[in-house]
Structure 1
Amino acid sequence: MGDLLTADEVAARLNVKPRRVRGWERRGFLTAIRTARGERRYLTAEVDQLAARHGR
């Protein structure tokens, strides 16, 4: 499947707040994978693509 990141880890990589990461998910810019406990995880490759598209 690939490496997964938490919202906090994505936020740190992209220099934004975790709240913005969840907003991007709601708007369809990122896809969250839910763990058995309902926690969000994001694919590293997808985060890297988003960063490249938006110059982050």
Structure 2
Amino acid sequence: MKLFNLIKSFRNDEDGAVTVDWVVLTAAIVGLGIATLAVISGGVEDLSGDISNQ
């Protein structure tokens, strides 16, 4: 019965929930930044090539 109470208290504990939220939020922001960089880098490379040819 003691193991059951330990599992029940572990399930109800929310001490690490904020940390998980921050990790997910940070990963989403980093992923969005990488996606933005991938989209913009091609255009910047083409534009810099056009400028160097003028």
Give the number of the structure whose residues are more often strand, by fraction.
1
Report the TM range for the smaller structure's normalisation: under 0.3
Larger Cα-atom Rg: 2
If the length of structure 1 is used for normalisation, what is the TM-score?
Answer: 0.25
If the length of structure 2 is used for normalisation, what is the TM-score?
Answer: 0.26
Give the number of the structure whose residues are more often helix, by fraction.
2
